[in-house]
Structure 1
């Protein structure tokens, strides 16, 4: 490629954005044309700045109160002409990672991988290849083949329940706080776990920790 690789970078942690941006711009072939701290800003920037690759976290606040950026990224990936998408995340749930690939993500990196993996990912997706980092590959290998990917998005109410649960409230406490029945709260929590491919309490607690709620 003769022209520079144009990047839009999105992450809700300023230190991550600035660190990745500084690293990318050490490469004279790369230009970071814009950075975003949430999904609404990312959507706006994609509409205004032509780019070749979007590098995005998925744990960012979404546009309409939903739990993460996946709803927007699903819409983005469905566009006939779009930039390549590399997801960089702390989430280590195999079903969610498998679901992102099923949606059409071009690259998946775990934030625990070395930053050089990002250069490898960019080179691969520009060639039209799919890239998964070493940590992601190991997680995907642990994914049972008969289980579907689960790149789910929680509704605003399900996300509210997760936030209160992460804050230490019991189902009874959440029901009292929100003015709903315990049965409703329990159903919303189960539905949320199913959407994210979480099957056990341990997996739920790990997920909450990975997205910074616990």
Structure 2
């Protein structure tokens, strides 16, 4: 018997979870091993259920309050061995979608296309590919400077500087903490903003809030 792709479903809308579960159960090569309505439940499932793919909304109750699951997904995707993540969302902001790719999400499906695109997305990420549904791709290409799937990926050092900066540390404070020169930190900050398509400090802070960093 062929190996089934084990999937965890996380969404705070009952109708979405039921719909996704039925969709996957109708296909013989998937096995739903858990479902939850919030980030706390997702964290518990990840600790107790082995899976290859997580299908998750990001606008659901977070572990420390709020309504954003990105922080949990970001921590998950930093681990050496982790399941692939497909985000199921209604977000159509290009910077936000690009940010999900930057933290390691490899599949993004607009909820309006779940019935037709979700199975393809799960199969694609399981094979190591990036998958964007049509609505998501259109949203990312609608900006004047569409983000590139790989050119816009921040390096580990750029991401480190970016996180500290949006937490409120000044460039010179980051330089001291990371034992680098102020010039290096400033260059890495500018590079991160350029890759993310951010032009102003307001853009940077707004983007950080969207992906759950601020």
Q: How high is the TM-score relative to the length of structure 2?
A: 0.69
In 2: Cα distance, 1:141 partner to 1:127 partner: 24
Aligned to 1:2: 2
In 1: Cα distance, 2:98 partner to 2:64 partner: 25
Aligned to 1:76: 76
* CA distance 1:9–1:134, shift in 2 (3 Å): same
Runs of 4+ in 1 over 3 A off after TM superposition: 145-149, 152-155, 189-194
2:54 counterpart SS class: strand
Residues 106-129 of structure 1 show CA distances to partners (whole Å, capped at 9, x for unaligned) of 100011115120111111111111
2:112 counterpart SS class: coil
Query: What are structure 2's unaligned runs of at least 5 residues?
Result: 154-161, 168-201
In 1: Cα distance, 2:130 partner to 2:204 partner: 31
1:195 counterpart SS class: helix
Residues 122-146 of structure 1 show CA distances to partners (whole Å, capped at 9, x for unaligned) of 1111111110100000011123348
Equivalent residue pairs, number: 163
Aligned to 1:130: 130
Note the 1:69-148 alignment, pairs <5 A: 69-143=69-143, 144-145=145-146
In 1: Cα distance, 2:55 partner to 2:33 partner: 12
Whether the aligned pair in 1 keeps the contact of 2:84 and 2:125 (CA below 8 Å) is yes
1:115 counterpart SS class: helix
Aligned to 2:208: 195
Note the 1:12-91 alignment, pairs <5 A: 12-91=12-91
RMSD across aligned positions (CA): 2.8
Note the 1:174-189 alignment, pairs <5 A: none
In 2: Cα distance, 1:190 partner to 1:63 partner: 26
Residues 7-60 of structure 1 show CA distances to partners (whole Å, capped at 9, x for unaligned) of 000000011101110111001111101001000000000110000100000001
1:88 counterpart SS class: strand
* CA distance 1:146–1:52, shift in 2 (3 Å): closer
1:28 counterpart SS class: coil
* CA distance 1:80–1:133, shift in 2 (3 Å): same
